[in-house]
């Protein structure tokens, strides 16, 4: 399994004082905290909502971390500084015959005081490197709020290009947000 390759390698990709790690399931509370912070701080960046996530059971949060570690079809990487989680990024893919060549990146988040240091790029590049090792995956897609200049620039820098726009795809309170669909061909 993909993620085990990372674990075998110590679960870390090298970066100055930041480690990109695969999270041990015992640390699910930290993952929950980080995800809730992301949804609360940047609601316009995610289709999931803070309000819905607050009602998830502890079992579901535990399962999310375990799934990303153990199940084929999902993967999550976390950024750790001095023992604390400061960022995360996830990817998923299916084994459906017609779409198994496409993976999706989602849930990309870096804590505000750790932004601009290359952590977001390292997280997403880490996912891309792992996805490249899966022979069936040819393309990676993602959706990003059009007004989210930092994220659009991050994905462009890693080679993604905008392939479409969805008008008023998110509605938060009475405000609408357009989404860009972005894609990167791996091979």
Ligand X SMILES: CC(C)(COP(=O)(O)OP(=O)(O)OC[C@H]1O[C@@H](n2cnc3c(N)ncnc32)[C@H](O)[C@@H]1OP(=O)(O)O)[C@@H](O)C(=O)NCCC(=O)NCCS
Question: Residue 99 corresponds to which tokens in the numbers above?
Answer: 């779409």
Nearer to ligand X, 102 or 152 (CB): 152
Which residue in the set 109, 131, 137, 184 belongs to the binding site for ligand X (CB under 6 A)? 109
Residue nearest to ligand X (CB): 120
126 contacts ligand X (rule: CB under 6 A): no
User: Rule CB under 6 A: is residue 157 a binding residue for ligand X?
Assistant: yes
At its nearest, how many Å lie between ligand X and the CB of residue 4?
Answer: 26
Q: Which of 77, 120, 160, 177 binds ligand X (CB under 6 A)?
A: 120
- Residue 162 contacts ligand X per CB under 6 A: no
Q: Smaller CB distance to ligand X: residue 136 or 149?
A: 149
Of 8-16, 116-124, 133-141, 160-168, the window that binds ligand X (rule: CB under 6 A) is 116-124
- x/- map, 25-64, ligand X, by CB under 6 A: -----------------x--x-------------------
CB 5 to ligand X: min, Å: 23
Binding of ligand X by 119 (CB under 6 A): yes
| CB 158 to ligand X: min, Å | 8
d(CA 103, CA 168): 24
**How many residues touch ligand X (CB under 6 A)?**
20
Residues sharing a CB contact under 8 Å with residue 101, sequence separation 6 or more, in sequence order: 136, 137, 138, 139
Q: How far is CA 185 from CA 132, 145, 161, in A?
A: 10, 21, 10
**What are the residues binding ligand X (CB under 6 A)?**
42, 45, 108-110, 115-121, 144, 148-151, 153-154, 157
């Amino acid at each position: 399994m993909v993620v085990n390759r990372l674990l075998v390698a110590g679960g870390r990709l090298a970066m100055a004082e930041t480690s990109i790690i695969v999270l041990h399931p015992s640390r699910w509370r930290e993952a929950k905290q980080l995800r809730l912070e992301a949804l609360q701080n940047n609601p316009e960046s995610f289709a999931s909502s803070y309000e819905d996530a607050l009602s998830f059971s502890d079992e579901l949060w535990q399962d999310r971390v375990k799934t990303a570690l153990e199940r084929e079809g999902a993967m999550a990487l976390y950024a750790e500084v001095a023992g604390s989680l400061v960022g995360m990024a996830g990817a998923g893919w299916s084994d459906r015959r017609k779409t198994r060549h496409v993976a999706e990146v989602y849930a990309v988040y870096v804590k505000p005081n750790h932004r601009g240091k290359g952590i977001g790029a390292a997280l997403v590049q880490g996912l891309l490197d792992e996805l490249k090792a899966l022979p069936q995956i040819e393309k990676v897609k993602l959706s990003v709020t059009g007004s989210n200049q930092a994220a659009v620039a991050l994905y462009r820098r890693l080679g993604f290009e905008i392939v479409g726009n969805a008008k008023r795809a998110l509605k938060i309170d009475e405000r609408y947000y357009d989404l860009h669909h972005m894609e990167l061909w791996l091979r």
